[in-house]
Amino acid sequence: MLGRERLSHFYSVVSLVIVLSPLVCSQIPLGSKLSVEEKNHWVSPNGDFEIGFFNRLNEYGIGIRISSGLIPTEKQPIVWVAGGDLTVGDKSYFELTKTGELVLFDSTRGVTVWASKTTNSSVDSAVLQNDGNLVLLKQNKDIVWQSFDTPSDTLLPGQNLSGNQLLRAASRNSVSSFYSLRIGVVGDLELKWENDVVYWRSASYPSRSALQAVLASDGAFQLFDHMSSPIWSVFSDDHGEPDVKFRVLRLDVDGNLRLRSWSKNSTSWILVWQAVENQCDVFATCGLTGICAFNESGFTVCKCLFSVSSLSSVSKCLLPYQQSCESGSSMFKLDHTSLYAIYPPNETIISQVSSTQCQNLCQEDHLCTAATFVNDGSATCKIKKTQYASGQSGLYIPSVSFVKICTDPMAVRPPNIDKSKPESPSQNTPPKQDHLSVCVSCVIGVGGGTIIVFIVIHLGLMAFWIYRKRYSFKTPDYPTYNKDCPNPSGFLALSYTEVKDITDSFKQRVGSNTFKGTLPENQPVLVKDYSNVKVDPRKFRCGILKLGSIHHRHLVRLEGYCCESGYRFLVYEYLKNGSLAKCLEDPVICKRLTWRKRLDLCLAVARAVSYLHMGCREFIGHGSLSCENVVLDENLEAKVTEYGLASFVGDAADGGGGSARDIMDFGYVVLAVLSSGPNSGCDWAYQKWAGGNAAEIVNENIEGGVNGDELERVLRIMFWCLQSDERMRPTMGEIVNVLEGAMAVDQPPPPSSCRRKLGMEEYGSGSDSDV
């Protein structure tokens, strides 16, 4: 009997230990430390949450993430960050000190950058609770400090937002976000931009001021008063569904407040509620990159409708008028467009005026940069006196805006300005027809032609399929290497041994680190060696996968790559005549470059770079455009090579591939194509042009002569490309339109960026490839 009692007592103790063991394991004792180098974490008892360091803008932050095994690692969101936008170096640590204080030490600056300030609060331990709340506890388990009281951009179920707290959106860059969520002075929830602009608010009840906002586990988001009674509520689309385990309410980087639930069926986060239905209603959602609009697919896009500056991933879309304008001003009209000032967000509002009066008020005000007339019955005119503005555009907008521009010369006039369009000298405009007539024979001819074209296309596709099937890359001869470098994009992923095979052990050198090779079926290629360039393998692969999906008539095709151990190679299609720089020095080839060929060459390069800037899924800068990176085929048609490498290869990987640089480099390429001379710089060229001697700029050996009107157009756009103020440079799309003769171009001012000679050695910064 006594043995049984002892055995029963033993089992009770064991059971108690088993029950309490998760709690014991979750206790974080004083002196515990997390570090970037050790990559360690503190985990909640149920395993759904963990706190540790994460990578942020190439630095590190300390935060809590949802770490449940039900959610793939790449989809586990960070729900709290110590210090908001704080980032630290790669040897930093996060510690619960012996005195009971959480501290974040930055190894880069050598100082503590964040602390819980609980040194004298008798802290005994810390716990990351099952609800994601990190708490500091006394010995009697009273809470001294908790992460729920200092939210970052997210609320978790059970977490409150009180009157002295706020959510601040994460930053897109190193600058703190301007968006915040807080309880307003009248007891409502407010989404604010900086401290001035409220662009969304919940319903308010002045007689029942809100005390706190609470996100419930069932998907309800509510405001409660001092009596704990709800005064405002919204409910998620999946409200009350019992199988939803995880929900997060986040103020996103775009300024919208969204509630998401984790769906086990789709294994993704599902949007179940958002505060602002129309994203364009979020103040400054486009920042300084343009105005908000919807594309044909219903997604919001940012368009620059009034700036003549170069559009790149870092450029700004500013109102063009400046007070330093000396030649007067004019206005152009943007229908269904509402503009508002951002810096500062102040406007002069004038009521009971007409649209014409609103336009005139801005025209006559020397400080006015733009005006918006609100045509919703209020007859209101909003005058802006800053270049920093944004807005939204769409057929649903009951407003018209007037943008002031300086009549000083500019590269390309905005499309709304009434500017005569230059005719190409070779074109004759046919007289306009006042009526439409039907030509029966024409209809029959078009129908028959369509059928013939249809048959030819199908025959061509069948022939192409047969060819690919017969001459495809043979796996037994050159097996696709996929151990370290996966090949989801479809082009060749080669091992180093295979690279040696196709280059015949690198015997045919055609340039610095450049070799000619041959793929099966005698397909010539050019192999470029980047093994001596420091580049992270993962970054290299990601960059190549992006470039491998790009196809354009005037871009050299990327056939494959090698990413094995320390070897890095790119395999390009081979073009017979090699680089433009060498062709311009070859008397035989140079003689074949007639004026028409040279103009087509410039247009081909412009189209290729324009496609990189605006035709791809995301902006791609060339980064090192030069005559060395333009190559010619057997028909002297131009293609651009080594595009996009600046983002991940070499010293330019810090982002030196913006559109402004590409546009200036394009200007130098054009000058080289026109002059073909080593001593012709842009200062010299501008002086010749300004003095009425434009013909002296052009190589005198061009057969067949030069078209004077076309030369004038090309030189004007070239000098605009070479302006030192990048805001004055046209976009690549505008350059294409000018070269095609579809847009007018003003006389350019002196290109003060011309501080260097245009010798052929200037283009040696690119590759020495002979593609």
Last residue of a domain, one of 573, 597, 623: 573
Same domain, 126 and 193: no
The pLDDT tens digits for 489-548 are 456 888 999 999 999 999 999 888 899 999 877 889 999 998 888 777 777 887 887 788
Q: What single letter denotes the amino acid at residue 31?
A: G
Above 90 in pLDDT, residue 717?
A: yes
Same domain, 517 and 383: no
Instruction: Give CA–CA dist 642/720, Å, rounded.
Output: 25
Above 80 in pLDDT, residue 455?
A: no
Residue whose structure tokens are 């994009």: 489
The pLDDT tens digits for 502-516 are 999 999 998 888 999
Last residue of a domain, one of 545, 573, 601: 573
Last residue of a domain, one of 524, 549, 573: 573
**CA dihedral of 155, 158, 164, 165, whole degrees rounded to 10:** -10
Identity of the highest mean pLDDT range in 141-150, 205-214, 340-349, 750-759? 141-150
Domain with residue 501: its CATH number is: 3.30.200.20
Domain interval for residue 42? 28-150
Same domain, 702 and 653: yes
The pLDDT tens digits for 73-95 are 999 999 999 988 788 999 999 99
Does 759 fall in a domain? Answer: yes
Tell me if 116 sits within 8 A of 191, measured CB to CB. no
User: How many folded domains does the chain comprise?
Assistant: 5
Does 660 fall in a domain? Answer: yes
Instruction: Give CA–CA dist 331/338, Å, rounded.
Output: 15
Residue whose structure tokens are 């990048």: 726
Instruction: Give CA–CA dist 694/672, Å, rounded.
Output: 15
Tell me if 316 sits within 8 A of 309, measured CB to CB. yes
The pLDDT tens digits for 615-624 are 776 778 888 8
Question: What pLDDT is attached to residue 220?
Answer: 94
Question: What pLDDT is attached to residue 337?
Answer: 94
Above 90 in pLDDT, residue 196?
A: no
Instruction: Give CA–CA dist 150/345, Å, rounded.
Output: 29
Nearest residue to 248 via CA among 448, 34, 75: 75
Which residues contact residue 764 at a Cβ distance below 8 angstroms, ignoring those fewer than 6 apart?
628
As a whole number, mean pLDDT of residues 550-576 equals 89
What rounded mean pLDDT belongs to the chain? 81
421-430: long-range contacts (C-beta < 8 A, 24 or more apart)?
A: 421/742, 421/743, 421/744, 422/709, 422/713, 422/741, 422/744, 423/741, 424/709, 424/710, 424/741, 425/707, 425/708, 425/709, 425/710, 426/707, 427/741
Above 60 in pLDDT, residue 140?
A: yes
Question: What pLDDT is attached to residue 499?
Answer: 93
548-551: long-range contacts (C-beta < 8 A, 24 or more apart)?
A: 548/489, 548/490, 548/491, 549/489, 550/612, 550/616, 550/620, 550/643, 550/644
Instruction: Give CA–CA dist 172/174, Å, rounded.
Output: 7
Same domain, 649 and 625: yes
> CA 337, 315, 394 angle in degrees (round to 5)?
15
Domain with residue 76: its CATH number is: 2.90.10.10
- 413-441 burial: b if 16+ Cβ within 10 Å, else e: bbeeeeeeeeeeeeeeeeeeeeeeeeeee
Tell me if 159 sits within 8 A of 152, measured CB to CB. no
Q: Which helix (H) or strand (E) holds 605?
A: helix 595-610
Same domain, 255 and 354: no
Asked which of 153-157, 488-492, 558-562, 705-709 is least confident by mean pLDDT, the reply is 488-492
Instruction: Give CA–CA dist 305/572, Å, rounded.
Output: 38
Above 60 in pLDDT, residue 758?
A: no
Residues in the chain: 771
pTM of the model: 0.55
Nearest residue to 580 via CA among 648, 631, 642: 631
Question: What pLDDT is attached to residue 493?
Answer: 85
Above 90 in pLDDT, residue 348?
A: yes
Handedness of CA 721, 723, 725, 728 (dihedral sign): negative
As a whole number, mean pLDDT of residues 631-646 equals 90
72 or 680, greater pLDDT: 72
